[in-house]
Structure 1
Amino acid sequence: MKNLVTVLFCLFITTLQAKIPLPEHPRPDFERADWQNLNGDWAFEFDKEDLGLKENWAKGTKSFSKTIKVPFPWGAPLSGVQDEADIAWYKREINVPTAWASRRTFLTIGASDWETTVFLDGNEVGKFQGGYVPFSFELTKYLKYGQNQALIIRVDDKRRDFALYGKQGYGNARGIWQTVYLEARGQNYISSFRFEPDIDKQKVKVVVHLAEPNKTGKNLPLKLIIKTDNQPIEVSQQMANNASSVSFEVAIPNARLWSLENPYLYETSITLGSDEQIKTYFGMRKISVVNLPHTDYPYIALNNKPIYLQLTLDQSYHPDGYYTFPSDQFMKEEILRTKQIGLNGIRTHIKIDIPRKLYWADKLGVLVMADLPNFWGEPNAEARAESEKTLPLMIERDFNHPAIFSWIIFNETWGLRTNVQENGKEVHKYLPETQKWVVSMVEKAKKLDPTRLVEDNSICCGAGHTVTDINSWHEYLPGWEWENYLSNLVKNTYEGSLHHFEVGYKQGRQPNINSECGNVWGYEGSTGDVDWSWDYHRMINTFRKYPKVAGWLYTEHHDVINEWNGYWRYDRSNKFTGLEEMVEGMSLKDLHSLIYLSTGNEISKTVKPNERVRVPLYLSSMTDRSDLGDKLTLQVKMYGYDAIGQKKTWGTRTETLPYKPYINQEVESLLLTMPNEKAVVTLALTLQDQAGNDLHHNVMNFIVEASTPQEINLLNGKKAQLVSVEAKDFSQAKWSAKQWNVMEGAKVNGTGSGYFEYRFKLPSNDFGNATFIAELGAKQLFVKDIDQEKIKDDNYMLGARVAPDKNPNSYPMTDETLFPSLVSVSVNGIFAQQVELPDDPADHRGVLSWHYQPKVRKLNEAGSYGYKVAINVPKEALDLARKTGELVIRLTAENGLSGGIAVYGDRFGRYAINPCVILY
């Protein structure tokens, strides 16, 4: 009968879990069989005046007026409630099954911010202060098994300068934000355990801790079962009487290592006595530092092999759940997204991430840098105590995740500066005594976890390292500045160098890595929403020239409220780089290839017609692949667009490049002859193995500057006369919203409904046909174009919000949301054709818009481009033109779609064309 009750209860729980958010066990690395998920609808009440304790709301007699969806933080859309106060109460009934009566029952909350007090039937069972780590309270002595009981939780989330707030300004983690659950534990239960793998000796050290010393008067049997591909490994140990822990080693012969390519996990069960069993897992892997082969450059190593780190900053936010993701599948997809574009790791930024997301990093093979969240006040005693309390709890919770390779204690010295008086002025300084405390935190972390690397401070903004395992640094630059920066960096970083270190500290043999980079803060006032792919390409090309830098970390994985430079939008919809249109087979993943062919920092170059051009090549192999032989094949193709946007190919050829594992050096340059005409030329590079399999693609562009010809050869072999005007030389324009020019008329914009009119003086009437050609795009009216006021100096980290297109530098990157415009073209007053312009895009295809940007820290509609439009002139319009000697072409944006027209000239957009008419 007892078994039947248990089965029915499990069926009931399974049915219930299907209706609640995040029904999965929140800790695959620490899972007891008997547990009950309490996520879902709870009664809820704000306590704006902090009267709940005085009025004894814990008794359960007060009726709560709202319903909240746990575990989403209040204020997050998925919670169902607005953010109205700093204190709130939760209430629901629980019913603990009688089958649990022989054991101890605990309530566990994965995370709740900040002070959480739990009551059962009016009895206070515990209080916890902290916002990121799990805590449990025992309910056993208050339980009435099989009966409904009132569980009430009070959370006080007042802002405290010493609390580890992190970047909650992007969306506050108010109250409970991780799964709440009940679980049955043994009378003597395990509080923590760790697996310390030693791949060199083919063994793992296991340490198991009890919550309380064993007071049974006898040894308790402890059994470990580790699944393998063959027979499971079974180990029997004893938890001695009066002991609170046991440590032992287990041989793992022929161990399958956890790696990025094969993230193998050893599923394990731990049984203590007759009533305590836990499911978990571990990975056999090693984190260390080794030299990059053929060099003396220290690299972070996985399983004794150097890893070229290609990471992204993961703010780990969701627009509807804030700190909490809507589903386990979403968390899995976050990790898959990272892998699918060729990255090998994430840095979960200023947030101790949700365990199930870390599980998917373990399961799918993505490395993780784990941050301790920061406080925003000064480093006083309260703030230090909060960090000192949370650090060991973070390490204890996440020790068994093989994906985590480093702990970052502080970020950009946030919270580490103190206001002091100097010469009658108040200054904000990183004091020597604070630095000593930071060193003590590093030492504490290394003592708690000697198996991983520990970073004192992910440095930026004038502060340096003290004692650290990683010589990391942050830098945000326009793409063109990376060459000088990295050249100087590698000269200044060496053993004994003071560069990047505080006074009294110096560089040792640490790997040198970038731990935040990109263009977002590289421009005055940040970029806003902009095509990041161009500067990104220049940056990555440059990093691959300097193998002394052992990796980089791009900001960031996805957009957040004030940074729109993510690989994905905030809602995880796609952005488009346009690379796939530039080189057949190319994608963003090519910029993360372990075998990489760089043309250097310059990815577009002004050249003359027929010029002989040298293109430098740098071959970077960050892999030990030895199956490729000693040579690679390089397929070279030159193609592009002439002065009327005709696509042409100017040559293809094959080159041979030397190869060996971990080669990182300049190889023989390419010599190219440019076309003898005005054009935008794309150099498409495809690196192949000897069997013809593509290994890597890259691209470079050349702008052949020449006068627009008066006569041009058409692709059909015919000759045509060409009459053109500059984009800015329209004869008339009228727009309902706004009209303006960009970069002295290189591009002209009209928004709303309206028209541009161009007049073309004809050289003769000796022609039979005419075609109007132009590069046109839809034109959205952005906030920055309505209000030129610059973004105020708001503190984004604490929640300031602005429109992504308010920034003067912004021009939103191409994504899944289109902004079409319907354009009617008339010639000499006669309707010719209606054209739909699909979008107002900006990405890598806007070669000219990037190439001609001045080298200042401001952007002018960078990366924007349009679509080549070719309109045949009606016969009636030609007849009029023969009489008047001109073609008058009007481009009218209709009211039916979003509206607006952008007209691109030959120094902006994608094609080197001005609005023109060809006569033939």
Structure 2
Amino acid sequence: MAPSTQPRPEHPRPQFVRTDWLNLNGTWQFETDRGDSGLERGLRTRELAGEITVPFCPESELSGVADVDFHEAVWYRRTIEVPADWAGRRVLLHFAAVDHDATVWVNDVEVVRHRGGFTGFEADITDQLDGDHRAVVVVRARDSRHGIQARGKQSREYANHDCDYTRTTGIWQTVWLEAVPQTRLLAGAVRPNVAAGEIVVELPVTGNRSGWTASATLADAQGEIVTGAVRVDLDRTPTVTLAVPEDRRRLWAPGDPHLYDLTLRLHDADGAVVDEVASYTALRSVAVDGQAVTINGERVFQRLVLDQGYWPTGIMTAPSDDELRADIERSLAAGFNGARLHQKVFEERFLYHADRLGYLVWGEFGDWGANVGGDPTRNQHPTAAFVNQWIEAVRRDRNHPAIVGWCPLNETHQVIDDHYTQLDDVTRAMFWATKASDPTRPVLDASGYAHRVLETDVWDSHDYEQDPARFAANQAGLAEGRPFANRSDRGEFSLPYVGQPYFVSEFGGIWWNPDALAKEGTDHRDSWGYGQRVADEEEFYRRFAGLVDALLDDPRMFGYCYTQLTDVFQEENGIYRFDRSLKLDLDRIRAAQQRQAAYERRAAS
């Protein structure tokens, strides 16, 4: 049964908002196509057998389908009606994310194809609308269990196991319509320059028009600050620089996440406004200074938590916008000041809340699915598709001030040998493409394991040693320029460390479920965590404090990332339970982290 209110009604792209848009979430026709034979069987042109609640995937409870079996393909169908007052403008159909390979037809005309389950796409459907401004939208999403594709933590086995979870197939983020002019603004980079007190705004348009201009206006609670304008017919990417007067400069930082309103406009040759977009931005810098990663020139120890972004009823889709914000608030309450968004490109609304709450974020691609490691004769290397899909994510999210670093790959564990491999090619391509798309943030070539780019901005390791004394010994080599590095019995994973900033980007993962002590020794499909499960809650606090202390005491360590914020299905090593209920004493978790880090004391000295 369809819900009484529309699910996820908020605008999905809060940094690029036009007034006239229409949310298409809600009830759609739906049918599973397990043999991917639907095109031959006529599913494109007929009514579908079932219903689904978009934007929730068919594996989820909130979709109304709750079928966790494999879906080789799924089909969606809905009749839409475009508002009459949109006449004379172009109509764009947007999909924020469809997993994994999508084809869209409108009134039986193919309008767009897109491959990649973590990023959005759009189609201009104006010419496919009938005389009543109506259209039938049909979507086929293919999601094969075989082959190489970026899956993140989605299980390739039928059941969940270890740290792999229930799959997501098809539409899993908001679908919406938008009315736009023929010549319109596109999303460009917005880059703060803290040293100069400026914000540089790119204003690309769909086509050059002689005599037309684009403008950007910066404002705060006191009103308009500055406007800059530029002709759009002289450069491929028209750009304006907004100089912020000293008395209106206020930096974005944890604890004081100041945001400026930013209004973008396109003007015709007579000065009339043709297109207008509401956005926001901030003055905030991220830099590398020796072994330090600084924010606005200051050493801020990054107390990060691993966040995988799964929910019991929505899988990878948050049940509500409030729940996205609440996960950030839960993390802050536990003493963390940011997160590594792990093996998933989070929906943009999460970044919006991180911007508003002053929450530091490392963006990551959900690259797992290439199976790099293990038996070297069976390795399946990442492909060029990984580069394309990741850069789509970077370009979507690069204007969010909360993001302080990028991580294209995770745990690509391949031993260095005499042969230059496809993994090396893809790793370097993703690293350099990231830096070209966004030169303002540090890039970590691969989190943990195989650092294959000598010039990587940051170095890290994953260390799940559970004994605090042995953990401290593992990490002690950083002082001599010999940081802990993930290795294999068959050889080294990484090129040499050359003095970059260093942090432990995964540690802890303490296995603890106070409600299931009797499960000791059960299959990892039922309960899983790192190392030996603690005997009781007091042992958890001792182990947590001991591990954290080892990193807080190292003056060369710029941060850490604890695994993890919540339990996820059978992985029971979260600070919170999977349903977000309290599992531990947050005061004790917060107290263990809040003392000043040696890295911060070094800045003060």
TM-score grouping bracket, smaller chain normalisation: 0.7 to 0.9
1:438 paired to 2:433:
no
Q: For residues 266-287 of structure 1, give each alpha carbon's deviation from its aligned partner in whole angstroms, at most 9, with x where no partner exists.
A: 1111111333211111111000
1:375-414 correspondence to structure 2 within 5 Å: 375-377=368-370, 383-413=382-412
Secondary structure of the residue that 1:108 maps to in structure 2?
Answer: strand
Considering only aligned residues, what root-mean-square deviation do their CA atoms show, in Å? 2.9
1:88 to 40, 58, 74: 74
Give the match for residue 518 of structure 2: none
1:125 to 102, 105, 111: 111
- CA distance change for structure 1 residues 454 and 27 in 2, over 3 Å: closer, same or farther? same
- CA distance change for structure 1 residues 141 and 244 in 2, over 3 Å: closer, same or farther? farther
Secondary structure of the residue that 2:383 maps to in structure 1?
Answer: helix
1:355 paired to 2:348:
yes
Maintained 8 Å contact 1:417/1:430: no
- CA distance change for structure 1 residues 525 and 551 in 2, over 3 Å: closer, same or farther? closer
1:546 to 524, 545, 554: 554
1:560-599 correspondence to structure 2 within 5 Å: 560-577=568-585, 587-595=588-596
Q: CA deviation at 1:562?
A: 3.2
Query: Separation in 2 of the partners of 1:621 and 1:473?
Result: 18
Give the match for residue 265 of structure 2: 271
Query: Separation in 2 of the partners of 1:104 and 1:417?
Result: 52
Q: CA deviation at 1:486?
A: 4.5
1:161 paired to 2:147:
yes
Query: Separation in 2 of the partners of 1:519 and 1:22?
Result: 32
Maintained 8 Å contact 1:17/1:37: no
Give the match for residue 282 of structure 1: 281
Query: Separation in 2 of the partners of 1:176 and 1:114?
Result: 9
Query: Separation in 2 of the partners of 1:124 and 1:20?
Result: 27
2:195 to 191, 197, 200: 200
Contiguous gaps of at least 5 residues in structure 2 = 156-164, 268-272, 373-378, 513-527
Give the match for residue 65 of structure 1: 49
- CA distance change for structure 1 residues 449 and 381 in 2, over 3 Å: closer, same or farther? farther
- CA distance change for structure 1 residues 480 and 592 in 2, over 3 Å: closer, same or farther? closer
Q: CA deviation at 1:403?
A: 0.5
Give the match for residue 241 of structure 1: 233
Give the match for residue 515 of structure 2: none
Query: Separation in 1 of the partners of 2:141 and 2:557?
Result: 45
Query: Separation in 1 of the partners of 2:554 and 2:494?
Result: 28
Give the match for residue 510 of structure 1: 500
Maintained 8 Å contact 1:493/1:499: no
Secondary structure of the residue that 1:458 maps to in structure 2?
Answer: coil
566-575 or 336-345, larger mean C-alpha shift: 336-345
Secondary structure of the residue that 1:196 maps to in structure 2?
Answer: strand
Query: Separation in 1 of the partners of 2:422 and 2:24?
Result: 45
Secondary structure of the residue that 1:576 maps to in structure 2?
Answer: coil
Secondary structure of the residue that 1:152 maps to in structure 2?
Answer: strand
Query: Separation in 2 of the partners of 1:621 and 1:546?
Result: 7
Q: TM-score, normalised on structure 2?
A: 0.85
Secondary structure of the residue that 1:49 maps to in structure 2?
Answer: coil
48-57 or 429-438, larger mean C-alpha shift: 429-438
Query: Separation in 1 of the partners of 2:241 and 2:3?
Result: 38
- CA distance change for structure 1 residues 524 and 139 in 2, over 3 Å: closer, same or farther? closer
1:23 paired to 2:9:
yes
Counterpart amino acid of residue 123 in structure 1? V
546-555 or 319-328, larger mean C-alpha shift: 546-555
450-459 or 237-246, larger mean C-alpha shift: 237-246
Work out which of the two has the higher radius of gyration on C-alpha atoms and give 1 or 2. Answer: 1
* Structure with the higher helix share, 1 or 2: 2
Query: Separation in 1 of the partners of 2:38 and 2:308?
Result: 34
Maintained 8 Å contact 2:90/2:124: yes
Give the match for residue 479 of structure 1: 467
Counterpart amino acid of residue 49 in structure 2? S
Query: Separation in 1 of the partners of 2:564 and 2:349?
Result: 21
Number of residue equivalences: 558
Query: Separation in 2 of the partners of 1:551 and 1:236?
Result: 38
1:140 paired to 2:134:
no
Q: CA deviation at 1:173?
A: 1.8
1:150 to 133, 136, 152: 136
Q: CA deviation at 1:357?
A: 0.6
Maintained 8 Å contact 1:162/1:375: no
Q: CA deviation at 1:521?
A: 7.8
Secondary structure of the residue that 2:253 maps to in structure 1?
Answer: coil
1:31-110 correspondence to structure 2 within 5 Å: 31-59=17-45, 62-81=46-65, 82-84=67-69, 85-110=71-96
Query: Separation in 2 of the partners of 1:527 and 1:464?
Result: 32
Give the match for residue 493 of structure 1: 481
Give the match for residue 162 of structure 2: none
Query: Separation in 1 of the partners of 2:307 and 2:184?
Result: 35
Secondary structure of the residue that 1:168 maps to in structure 2?
Answer: coil
- CA distance change for structure 1 residues 127 and 504 in 2, over 3 Å: closer, same or farther? closer
Maintained 8 Å contact 1:222/1:237: yes
Secondary structure of the residue that 1:187 maps to in structure 2?
Answer: coil
Maintained 8 Å contact 1:498/1:505: no
1:323 paired to 2:309:
no
1:365 paired to 2:358:
yes
Query: Separation in 1 of the partners of 2:507 and 2:91?
Result: 47
Counterpart amino acid of residue 516 in structure 1? E
1:713-724 correspondence to structure 2 within 5 Å: none
* Structure with the higher strand share, 1 or 2: 1
Q: For residues 688-728 of structure 1, give each alpha carbon's deviation from its aligned partner in whole angstroms, at most 9, with x where no partner exists.
A: xxxxxxxxxxxxxxxxxxxxxxxxxxxxxxxxxxxxxxxxx
Q: CA deviation at 1:453?
A: 0.5
Q: CA deviation at 1:483?
A: 5.5
Maintained 8 Å contact 2:381/2:423: no
Query: Separation in 1 of the partners of 2:33 and 2:326?
Result: 37
Maintained 8 Å contact 1:316/1:348: yes
Give the match for residue 186 of structure 1: 181
1:467 paired to 2:467:
no
Maintained 8 Å contact 2:371/2:380: no
Q: CA deviation at 1:34?
A: 0.7
Query: Separation in 2 of the partners of 1:76 and 1:529?
Result: 32
Maintained 8 Å contact 1:264/1:283: yes
1:555 to 563, 569, 576: 563
Query: Separation in 1 of the partners of 2:86 and 2:415?
Result: 51
Maintained 8 Å contact 2:216/2:240: no
